[in-house]
Structure formats: C-alpha cells, structure tokens
C-alpha cells in the first residue's frame, strides 16, 4: 500500500468526447448548481449521470447503498475515463471501503474533486494512482474562470504538461521534491484517525480547509505531527483556509499554519491557489511536485 513514485499509475489522458461519470458520494446539493456544472462539462465530454444523484437522505446524497453503488459503477465501467464528484460536504468516508479499488488499480481513471473527496484521493494516491484535486461539479456550476477551466482541462487532457504556481507566500524558504499528497485538512486528519493516511517519505503535503477555527487547525496539525505524518513530508503547501476566522483570542489561522510547521525544517509555502475560496486551480495529486522558494511546480506525468 505504500506509494512509491516510480510505481505511479497515471490514468490515461482524456480526449474531448471521453465519457465522464458524475457521482455524489457525499452531501446533497442544489439541482440547478449541478445542472450548470454539467452543462459546462457537457461542452467537452460525454456524461454519465444517474438520476438518483439528486437523492437526499439527511446530510447525504442518498443512503450508503446508493452512493456506494453509483461510485462502484463508475469505477468498473470500462468506458468511463474520469469520475467527477458532484459536491463535497460529508459522506465519502462512510463508503470508502465499499468501492472496488482493485478495478481502479487494474484500469486507472481520473478521480476529480476536492474537500470531502479527499478520502478518495488519499486511498487512490496510497495505491499509486494519481488523481485531480479540482472544483467539484457544483463548484464548476457556480463560477469558474477561464484560468480555472484551463487548469482542469490541462490536468485531464495534458497531464504530461508542466505547470507551476508562482509568487506564493513563503513561510520557510527552500527546495524540495516529492509526491504531492493531501487535500482537505479535516479529511486528511480523519483518514489518519482511520489509519488510512499514507504520507510517503519525502512527500509534499498540500492542505486546505474551510470554516475551521484556528485552534481546530492547530489540533489537526498537531495530530499529524504526533502521528509522524508531518515529519515524513519534505515540504508543505498550504492552499486557502477560507472562513477560518479567529475566536475571541484573536489567533489567526495563518499564524497557526506558520507556527505548527516552523520547526519541521522543510520549505513551507502558503496562499497556493486551491481550496474553498477563489481561485481553486486544478492540480494533480499523487504525481511529483517541487517547491522552490515561492514556486510550486508539477512534474510531467506520463503513462
């Protein structure tokens, strides 16, 4: 289960007209937002969407059986080249063990989304399959800039193309290269609690979050520190920490991010363009990335 970058299986690049499955493994969402996101995706790809995707069961997009079956169907369908998540919220971890992962091993396909979908990124990356951290479909429906569209299409269609983020905030200067792992901090911590987080030695850890109080961000990072996960990282890239407002004590999320990584001795950058704020630029998880002072670059992926 330990990821070795040399064993990375990059799913095949998509061509326009490829079949993309849209699935909802987490929380329900507004129908109109989904339709707007689907409309944009449909300008480029053929879509496979089950009508049951609009199910609502409390905070879940239908019960576990429905969501697991929908996701399994996307995994095993040989015509499907990418699986895009409708929305985050919560619920993916409930079904993470009910997915035929061996089908993904045998025939890698792109898993695309973020936030709660981090549960799937973590498992896929641990199995050596690269994934795409990108807006979910409802996010695509809300607002997406030309640059965000271009980044998403580049990940899916030209994963062998180099990409970079420049001019990031530098918490600690330096250079490091390694497999990019991570996503939503709360989900990364929850997957650690589940014993499923695999941070390979030398990994670059990408983390973002939303509506978490700074002391909670501290607690999650402290868990990952105690668990030895941060010590294995060769660098850390913080994305947006959106609406992570201070409590009455006035401590800022950015202070916590800086303080909790200060003594790790590795390069740390912040304000990278991904997360729950704007922009949310697509990038590849599981592939190799490099931090060089204020630049994060993503290596070519070939398959």
Pick between residue 114 and residue 165 the one whose CB is nearest to a copy of itself.
114
Minimal distance in Å, beta carbon 194 to a copy of itself? Answer: 4
Minimal distance in Å, beta carbon 225 to a copy of itself? Answer: 8
Residues marked active site are found at 115, 208, 276
**Which residues is 9 bridged to in the sheet?**
129
Pick between residue 183 and residue 267 the one whose CB is nearest to a copy of itself.
183
B/e letters for 81-94, b = 16+ CB within 10 Å, e = fewer, are: bbbbbbbbbbbbbb
Minimal distance in Å, beta carbon 214 to a copy of itself? Answer: 7
Minimal distance in Å, beta carbon 130 to a copy of itself? Answer: 23
Residues at the interface with a copy of itself (CB under 8 A) = 27, 56, 58-59, 89-90, 93-94, 96-97, 186, 189-197, 214-216, 218-220, 222-228, 247, 249-251, 255
Pick between residue 59 and residue 102 the one whose CB is nearest to a copy of itself.
59
Pick between residue 41 and residue 93 the one whose CB is nearest to a copy of itself.
93
């Amino acid at each position: 289960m330990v990821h070795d970058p040399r064993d990375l299986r990059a799913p095949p690049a998509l061509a326009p007209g490829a079949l993309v499955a849209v699935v909802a493994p987490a929380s329900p969402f507004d129908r109109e937002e989904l339709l707007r996101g689907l409309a944009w995706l449909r300008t480029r790809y053929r879509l496979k969407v089950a009508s049951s995707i609009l199910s609502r069961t409390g905070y879940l997009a239908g019960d576990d059986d429905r969501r697991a079956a929908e996701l399994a169907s996307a995994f095993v369908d040989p015509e499907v080249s990418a699986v895009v998540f409708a929305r985050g919220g919560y619920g993916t971890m409930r079904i993470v063990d009910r997915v035929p992962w061996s089908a993904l091993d045998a025939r890698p396909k792109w898993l695309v989304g973020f936030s709660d979908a981090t549960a799937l990124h973590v498992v896929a990356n641990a199995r050596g399959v690269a994934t795409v951290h990108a807006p979910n479909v409802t996010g695509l429906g809300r607002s997406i800039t030309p640059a965000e569209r271009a980044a998403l299409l580049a990940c899916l269609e030209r994963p062998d193309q180099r990409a970079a983020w420049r001019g990031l905030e530098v918490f600690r200067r330096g250079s490091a290269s390694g497999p990019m792992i991570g996503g939503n901090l709360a989900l990364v911590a929850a997957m650690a609690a589940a014993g499923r987080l695999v941070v390979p030695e030398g990994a670059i850890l990408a983390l973002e979050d939303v509506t978490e109080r700074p002391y909670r961000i501290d607690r999650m990072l402290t868990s990952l520190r105690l668990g030895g996960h941060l010590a294995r990282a060769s660098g850390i890239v913080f994305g947006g920490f959106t609406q992570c407002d201070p409590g009455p004590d006035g401590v800022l999320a950015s202070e916590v991010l800086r303080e909790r990584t200060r003594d790790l001795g590795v390069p740390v950058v912040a304000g990278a363009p991904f997360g729950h704020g704007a922009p949310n630029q697509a990038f590849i998880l599981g592939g190799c990335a490099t931090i060089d002072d204020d630049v994060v670059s993503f290596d070519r992926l070939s398959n």
